[in-house]
Amino acid sequence: MSAKDGEYRLLGDLNLNTKIIEKVKANLRGEALLPSDSGYDKARTIWNAMINHKPGMIIRCAGVSDVVAAVNFARTHNILISVKGGGHNVSGNAVCEGGLMIDLSPMKSVYVDPATRRARVEGGATWKDYDRETQVFGLASTGGAVSRTGVAGLTLGGGWGWLAGKYGLACDNLVSVDIVTSDGKVVTANANQNSDLFWGLRGGGGNFGIATSFEFAIHPIKEILAGTLFFTLDAAKEVLIFYDKFTRSCPDELASLIVFVNVEGQMLIGVTVCYCGEIKIGEELLLPLKEFGSPVINTLQKTSYVDFQQSVDHVFAEGYQNYWKSSFMKGLDIPEIDMILEFVSKIPTPESVVLIEQVGNGVRRVEVNEMAFNHRDARYSLLICGMSPNQGDKNEISAWTKTFWSSMEPFTTDAVYMNYLGEFGDEGEDRVISSYGVNKFEKLVTLKNKYDSSNMFRLNQNIRPTNS
Ligand SMILES: Cc1cc2nc3c(=O)[nH]c(=O)nc-3n(C[C@H](O)[C@H](O)[C@H](O)COP(=O)(O)OP(=O)(O)OC[C@H]3O[C@@H](n4cnc5c(N)ncnc54)[C@H](O)[C@@H]3O)c2cc1C
């Protein structure tokens, strides 16, 4: 979408004069940054270095009143906006070109009530912030596997993590959300208030407003049994056959994934597991895995949940070029294993990674129509991550990812996890519809008509209102 649509304006179109800028600034507790301000470049830089958008202004919100002020300013002048939580989405939708970027990342507070087992977290916090505070009380809820990922974007899109087998997705643990809607109102959505919106917010992404805080149910989690057993690639086929059988009989407490990753110069296949139940039972359960084949590295150990949550951050380092594609898989049989191994053998850079994530029992337990998130019956999600620290590798990593993904089409379903979708232009509206299924998508359009009929919140995996 572009400004030519005539549906919104860029800040450059406004002839922003000093008076307007001073008025915006005076109305904030946080700051408004223009391209000439120090701090502007830092604020517009997000995790995926492939994205180099330059907003006309960045409002770094200090609280709900700043979010309201930013939304009102944008609505009054019909300005294109983008919303940043953790800034980790691969599509780069958090940063707009020429419009107003509403940056929630200064809003990171986390309040934990151990008595009611509830945590309230602001819309700009990362999972690192959240885990750190909740673990003070030995409590946790499902969050992303890379600690710098934002609570907001991940939860609004679903949110798979190491506790998903037992406690479901991040959105399954959501009790209540406060959002600022396109008319600048602060609305609470939960099971009793605005329950239609609450349905849509659990999977529907940033389409309905700006979430300023989330309330989660939290659970006792302390020491876990977790780590990766790495094998050489010549054993990969056997590892995958073993893994598929092993995960079929897993209890809720076990979450797992397969990773193809370069470790110290060698491409390896890893089986990463996290057991969040009683350690002794976990040790017995994981014995067949420990005794399987000849792992070249074994990091499986008792560890703290917080430490494990940060253990793969280095693999997904900031500032890399990233081109990702994903789909849910039909199964993990020999033909698809062979195809995966063929493309792993052609991996374009040492930083690129391929993941096969086990969706987990807890995800399937939630009734599928309870919220917008769909495809709970999938067993595995395939995520192909073309990555490189060098800008010059951009075309090569994109080409490998696209060819790999399309070659996997016979073995994947139409469905995709919305949070893994890349740039809208590359994926298209059909992929967004596929991520919800047609029936849920229609319900989401109805909700969009009700809460954001002007499509103010359009820079996301967009659910367009009927009239746009
Ligand atoms: C390295 C890496 C690891 C990941 N690991 C996991 C994982 O383990 N599990 C998983 O499920 N997903 C994972 N993801 C995907 C992740 O869930 C999405 O990228 C998610 O959108 C990131 O959220 P964010 O707040 O950091 O993103 P941002 O880029 O800040 O935002 C993404 C979009 O979310 C919306 N949004 C953000 N904040 C708000 C808000 N406060 N209110 C309303 N809308 C908002 C906006 O539409 C925005 O465009 C991972 C992604 C990366 C890059």
What's 372-430 look like in SS3?
A: CCCCCCCCEEEEEEEEECCHHHHHHHHHHHHHHHHHCHHHECCCCCHHHCCCHHHHCHH
104 lines ligand 1 (CB under 6 A): yes
DSSP 209: -
CA distance linking residue 104 with residue 25, whole number of Å: 16
DSSP H or E stretch at residue 64:
helix 64-77
Mutate to test the pocket of ligand 1, among 60, 67, 154, 322 (most ligand atoms within 8 A of CB): 154
Q: How many A from CA of 155 to the centre of ligand 1? A: 8
Binding site membership of 159 for ligand 1 (Cβ less than 6 Å): yes
Residues of the chain with pLDDT under 70: 1-6, 424-425
SS3 of residue 223 by DSSP: strand
- pLDDT for position 21: 87
Q: Do 272 and 256 contact (CB within 8 A), yes or no?
A: yes
Q: pTM (2 decimals)?
A: 0.96
Ligand 1 lined by 203 (C-beta under 6 Å): no
Helix 334-344 vs helix 236-248: angle between axes, to the nearest 10 degrees?
130
Residue nearest to atom 38 of ligand 1 (CA): 85
**Closest C-alpha among 131, 166, 168, 167 to residue 151:** 131
Return the best residue to mutate from 46, 80, 88, 103 for the ligand 1 pocket (most ligand atoms within 8 A of CB): 88
pLDDT attached to residue 425: 66
- The rounded Å distance from CA 35 to ligand 1 centre is 25
Instruction: State the pLDDT at residue 138.
Output: 97
| 129 CA distance to ligand 1 middle (Å) | 15
Q: Is 22 exposed, middle or buried (0-12, 13-18, 19+ CB in 10 A)?
A: exposed
29-40 tens-digit pLDDT: 999 999 999 999
Which residues are CB-contacts of 190 (< 8 A; sequence separation ≥ 6)?
175, 176, 177, 198, 215
Q: β-strands 139-140, 219-220: how paired?
A: antiparallel
Residue 30 Cβ < 6 Å to ligand 1? no
pLDDT at residue 360 in the model: 85
Token pair listed for 17: 């004069």
- Pairing relation of β-strands 100-103 and 57-60? parallel
Determine whether the shortest distance from the Cβ of 146 to ligand 1 is under 6 A.
yes
Rounded to the nearest angstrom, the distance between the alpha carbon of 284 and the centre of ligand 1 is 35
